[in-house]
Amino acid sequence: MDLYEALEKRRTIRDFSDKEVPDEVLRKILAAAFKAPTNDHLRQLEFVVVRDKARIAAILSPLAGNIEGFTRKNVEALAGVMDKDEYAMFTDAMPKQQKMLAQSGCLILPFFFHTGCPLLKPDNLSSLNYFASAWAAIENILLAATAEGLACALHIPIEQEAEHVKSLVAAPPHYEFPCFLAIGYAALGAHICKQKDIRVEDRIHHNRW
Ligand SMILES: Cc1cc2nc3c(=O)[nH]c(=O)nc-3n(C[C@H](O)[C@H](O)[C@H](O)COP(=O)(O)O)c2cc1C
């Protein structure tokens, strides 16, 4: 699959089959992370791969309560303020957050080295360089997974979820957890949210905005 085809085909899928992702394919996909640009040339990324169902359940255990609380508080209020495609995505995604991460049986927990000021209290834009590099690497993973015929879903940790993960996997100090990542084969008839139509010409400005 060429790069442009992978860009077109990469979509967030939140419904997985239970077909197992072979180890060698997973290795190839995760290797793509180390080809992304990196702020300090060091690519200090680590991945914890969890396939054991009970272990996955323990890692995801805080999600149900957190999502339920968030959904109850926010979903109706958001209907009035969100774009309609955004709202459709949101209402499909919210109830699936925990299930989608468990369903493929291949949960990836990425970690990136971060030092200097606390991640959530950056001094300036470059304090976020480690974080930005981690996301460049995650995008490479998503594209590589697509090229391998696989689907991905991600969830940004909320509330105590990141600390829970770090402590369960015994992550060393200075390593941050940007997102939960499920990789797997899409379920038959998996829902794909409508992607917002963008006219690229409208977004490119010549010489000034
Ligand atoms: C930074 C970032 C955070 C995201 N957080 C979540 C999330 O917490 N849960 C989720 O289901 N999807 C999450 N997504 C996936 C988006 O919902 C998805 O990319 C978007 O709806 C566009 O759909 P597409 O990926 O199919 O193009 C996130 C994506 C990005 C880039």
For the segment 96-126, what is each residue's pLDDT rounded down to a tens digit?
999 999 999 999 999 999 999 999 999 999 9
Instruction: Give the Å distance between the CA of 154 and the centre of ligand 1.
Output: 6
Q: Which of 77-86, 173-182, 198-207 has the lowest mean pLDDT?
A: 77-86
Scan for tokens 């990469």, then name that residue: 10
Helix (H) or strand (E) holding 206: none
Per-residue pLDDT of 130-141, as tens digits, reads 999 999 999 999
Q: Is the CB of 193 under 6 A from ligand 1?
A: yes
The residue whose CA is least distant from atom 10 of ligand 1 is 155
Q: Is the CB of 11 under 6 A from ligand 1?
A: yes
Report the alpha-carbon distance of residue 74 to residue 161 in Å, rounded: 19
Report the alpha-carbon distance of residue 97 to residue 198 in Å, rounded: 26
Place 184 in a pLDDT band, splitting at 50, 70 and 90.
Answer: very high
Query: What pLDDT sits at residue 17?
Result: 97
The residue whose CA is least distant from atom 18 of ligand 1 is 12
> What is the torsional sign of CA 75, 151, 107, 52?
positive
Q: Is the CB of 115 under 6 A from ligand 1?
A: no
Arithmetic mean of pLDDT, 30-40: 97
Tell me what the pLDDT averaged over the chain comes to. 95
Instruction: Give the Å distance between the CA of 39 and the centre of ligand 1.
Output: 23
Closest atom, ligand 1, to C-alpha of 158: 8
Report the alpha-carbon distance of residue 75 to residue 50 in Å, rounded: 31
Pick from 20, 5, 3: nearest CA to 150: 20
Task: With a cut of 80, say whether residue 189 has pLDDT above it.
Answer: yes
Arithmetic mean of pLDDT, 49-77: 88
Q: Which of 75-89, 97-111, 143-157 has the lowest mean pLDDT?
A: 75-89
Which CATH architecture does the domain made up of 3-203 adopt? 3-Layer(aba) Sandwich (3.40)
Place 164 in a pLDDT band, splitting at 50, 70 and 90.
Answer: very high
Task: With a cut of 90, say whether residue 68 has pLDDT above it.
Answer: no
Our mutation pick for probing the ligand 1 site, out of 7, 154, 165, counting the most ligand atoms within 8 A of Cβ, is 154
Alpha helices in 46-181 (DSSP H): 53-60, 63-81, 84-93, 97-103, 129-147, 161-169
Please give the share of the chain, as a percent, with pLDDT higher than 70. 99
The residue whose CA is least distant from atom 14 of ligand 1 is 154
